[in-house]
Amino acid sequence: MTVEVAAARLPTIRRSGLSKEFHDGTAMMGRNLIAYKRVPQLLVFSTIQPIIFVLMFRYVFGGVVQKSLPPGVEYVNFLMPGIWVQTVVFGAIAAAIGLATDLKSGMLERFASLPVTRSAVLVGRTGADLIRNVFVVILMLAVGMIVGFRVGTNVIALIAAMALVALFGFALSWIFATLGLAVKDPETAQAAAFPVLAPLVFASIAFVPANQMPGWLQPWANNQPVSAVVLAARALVNGGPTAHYVIQALIWCAAVLLIFVPLGVRTYRRAL
Amino acid sequence: MPEGGWDDAVMDAAVKVEGLSKRFGDVHALDGIDFGIAQGTIFGLLGPNGAGKTTAVRILATVLKPDAGHAEVLGHDVVHDAESVRMLIGLAGQYAAVDPNLTGRENLALMGKLAQVEPSAIGPRAAELLQQFDLMDAADRPVRTYSGGMRRRLDVAASLVQKPPVLFLDEPTTGLDLQSRHELWRAIRTLVDEGTTVILTTQYLEEADQLAHRLVVVDRGAIIAEGTARQLKDRLGGTVIEMTMAGEDDIARAISLVEPIAGAKVERDGLLLRLPSPDGSHLLAQVIRRLDEEGVLPATVSLREPSLDDVFLSLTGHVAEDATAAEGAQERAKGGDGR
C-alpha cells in the first residue's frame, strides 16, 4: 500500500546502479576534498613529514646505507620510491580519523537516513584520499628531483610507478576506513594506526636493503606488502627486471581491496 | 485531514508503529511500542534521557533496524523498503551533524545532492533555507566559525532541504537560547501548515505543549501515557503548588492543615511539599492564610505549571531519572560486540 502524500516535496531524481554510485560517491568525495582546501594544515602536515624523511635519509643516513648498495646504485634513487610509498601509507591514517570523526559527530547517522548508496561514504573518503595521494606523490617527486633523484627509465614507467603507489595508498585507505569505523573514535583510531604501520614501513626495504637487517627480520622485510610495492616502483623508475615485481605489487593491492572493500562497507552498516 | 486525530486517519497515516522493540545488550531500549501519526500533524515523544525516544526515531529514520515489530512511513516498511522511506524523510539527530569545514550553503547543497534533489532546485532551496533560519550573513563562512545555536539551526535546515513529507527532529531545541527556540518552533509550524508531518522528541513538557498535536510519554522503552499535553497537565490538576518547610515538625503540621482544605493528598519530598491543583492560585491563597493563622509559614512558596517531572512522578511513581543506564548500554553494545 502506498499512502497519498500531502506535502509538496522538491523534485527528485531516482538514480540507480553505477550512475547512482558515481553521483553519491563524488558528492561525498567533493565534501572531503573541500576539507583539504579549507584546512591546508591537513596537507602541509602530510607533506612536511615526508620531506623531513627525504632530507634525513638522503643526507644523514645516506652515506652509511650507500656502502651496502650494489655498485652503481645511487642511494637517492634507491630511497625516493620508498619515500613515495611511505607517504601514502602514513596518509592512509586520514581515512580512519575522518570516518571515526564523522561517526562521532552524527554525520554518518544523517547520511544513513538519506537515499545514498551504502558504499558512498567510504568511496567518498577513499576517493578523496586517492586524489590527495596523487598530489602528494607528485610533490615528493619534485622534492626528490631537487635532492638529486633521476629517473633511470622513461616517463611512462615513471607514471606507472606513481599510479602503482597511488593504487596501493587507495587500497590501504580501505583498511584504515574499516579500522576507523570499527574503533569509532578518532584518537583511538590514530593511536591504533601507528603500531600497524610502523612494522610495515620501517621493517621494509623502503629505506635500507634487507641484507643490512638481522636474519630473523629479513623474511618479513622481503615479503610484506610495503616492500613489494617499493620493489616494483624502484624497478619501474630505476630499470632492471620489472614485470615480476609489478605483478606481485598488484596482487597485494587486489588482495587488500577484495577483503577490505566488502569488510569496510559491512563495518559501516554496523557502526551506527 | 480528519479532525479527530490519527484514529480517524489510519488509512493515510504518516507513520504506523506496531510492537517495535530494540535491545542493546541486556537493556530494552524499546519494549514493544505502538502508535500512529496522522499526516500534517506534529507528534511528540516525551521522556527523559534514555527512555527510548532516540532509538524510536533512529528506527523510523532507517538508521537502526528493530529486533521485533513493524514500522511504516507513508506506507513503506522501514526495514524492507528503507530506500523508499529515505526518499520521504528528513532527520535532524541529537548532534548538530553538519560539516565544520563546509560553509553553511555548501552543507545544505551537499544534503540536497544526497537527498537526490534535482540539481537546478538545490541552489534556490539552500538560499531560501538560509534566509528562513537567519543564516544569510554567515552563509559563505565555514561552519566551524558558527556559534552553537547557528550550527543547530543549520542542522535543522539541512534536514529540510528536500522538503521531506515526514520530518524527524530529535531534541531540536536542546542548547538553543530562548529566541532561537521560538524561531525554530515557528519554522516547524510553518512546515506543518504546508503539509509536513513532524515527529519530535523532547524532554520538555513546555515544548510538547507548544508544538505537538498529540504526544506519547515514554519511560524505559514503553509508552506510559498518550494524549495532548493539555490532557496530561489536566490529569495532574493544571498547576502545582510547592512549599519548602523550615523543619520536620512544620511538615507534619502543614500536611494536616493543608489536606482538609485541598481535599487531596500532599506529596512529600524531604522538606518539600507538592500539591497538584486545578485552581492553584485560589487554593494557594487559602493555604497560606491557614498556615499563617497557625504560625507555620513555609520558607519558600511557588505556583507553577506541571513539568515533565510531575508527569513522571504521577504516571510512574518515580522521578524522571537521567537514565544513562540505557544509553550507556547502547554505547557499550555499539563499541563491543560488532553486531
Higher pLDDT, A152 or B296: A152
Q: Please indicate, yes or no, if residue A172 is contained in any of the structural domains.
A: yes
Q: Please indicate, yes or no, if residue A56 is contained in any of the structural domains.
A: yes
Q: Please indicate, yes or no, if residue A7 is contained in any of the structural domains.
A: no
Taking 90 as the threshold, does the pLDDT of residue B28 lie above it? no
State the nearest Cα–Cα gap between A190 and chain B, in angstroms.
17
Task: Please report the DSSP string for chain A in residue order.
Answer: --PPP-S-PPPB----HHHHHHHHHHHHHHHHHHHHHH-HHHHHHHHHHHHHHHHIIIIIIHHHHHTTSPTT--HHHHHHHHHHHHHHHHHTHHHHHHHHHHHHTTHHHHHHTSS--TTHHHHHHHHHHHHHHHHHHHHHHHHHHHTT---SS-HHHHHHHHHHHHHHHHHHHHHHHHHHHHH--HHHHHHHHHHHHHHHHTTSTTTS-GGGS-TTTHHHHHHSHHHHHHHHHHHHHH-S--HHHHHHHHHHHHHHHHHHHHHHHHHHHHH-
Q: Please indicate, yes or no, if residue A148 is contained in any of the structural domains.
A: yes
Task: Please report the DSSP string for B284-313 in residue order.
Answer: HHHHHHHHHHHT---SEEEEE---HHHHHH
Give the pLDDT of residue A124: 96
Taking 70 as the threshold, does the pLDDT of residue B206 lie above it? yes
When pLDDT is averaged across residues B203-228 and rounded to a whole number, the result is: 88
Tally of domains within chain A: 1
When pLDDT is averaged across residues B261-278 and rounded to a whole number, the result is: 83
Give the pLDDT of residue A5: 63
Give the pLDDT of residue B318: 64
When pLDDT is averaged across residues B188-200 and rounded to a whole number, the result is: 91
Q: Do B93 and A110 touch (CB under 8 A)?
A: yes
Q: Are A193 and A203 in contact (CB under 8 A)?
A: no
Q: Do A270 and B338 touch (CB under 8 A)?
A: yes
When pLDDT is averaged across residues B126-142 and rounded to a whole number, the result is: 94
Contact pairs from chain A to chain B, CB under 8 Å: 138
Q: Please indicate, yes or no, if residue A28 is contained in any of the structural domains.
A: yes
Give the pLDDT of residue A214: 93
Distance CA A162, CA A168 (A): 10
- In chain B, alpha helices (H): 53-60, 82-86, 104-114, 119-132, 148-158, 178-193, 205-211, 229-236, 248-262, 280-294, 308-316, 324-335
Q: Please indicate, yes or no, if residue A10 is contained in any of the structural domains.
A: no
- For A2, name the nearest residue in chain B, comparing CA atoms only: B75
Give the pLDDT of residue A7: 57
Q: Identify the structural domains of chain B with CATH numbers, from first to last.
A: 6-233 (3.40.50.300), 239-304 (3.30.70.2190)
Contacts of B125 in chain A (CB under 8 A): 10
Look at residue B73 and give its three-state secondary structure.
strand
State the nearest Cα–Cα gap between B74 and chain A, in angstroms.
5
pLDDT band for B234, please (50, 70, 90 cuts).
Answer: confident
Q: Do A110 and B97 touch (CB under 8 A)?
A: yes
Above 0.95 for ipTM, yes or no? no
Q: Please indicate, yes or no, if residue A5 is contained in any of the structural domains.
A: no
Q: Do A35 and B99 touch (CB under 8 A)?
A: yes
Give the pLDDT of residue B170: 93
Give the pLDDT of residue A242: 92
Range of A204's domain? 21-271
Q: Which amino acid is at B240?
A: V
pLDDT band for B6, please (50, 70, 90 cuts).
Answer: very low
Contacts of A100 in chain B (CB under 8 A): none
State the nearest Cα–Cα gap between B49 and chain A, in angstroms.
17
pLDDT band for B338, please (50, 70, 90 cuts).
Answer: very low
Under-70 pLDDT residues of chain A: 1-8
Q: Please indicate, yes or no, if residue A4 is contained in any of the structural domains.
A: no
pLDDT band for B3, please (50, 70, 90 cuts).
Answer: very low
Taking 80 as the threshold, does the pLDDT of residue B259 lie above it? yes
Give the pLDDT of residue B265: 80
Give the pLDDT of residue B48: 82
pLDDT band for B7, please (50, 70, 90 cuts).
Answer: very low
Give the pLDDT of residue B324: 43
Of A34, A113, A115, the CB nearest to B116: A115
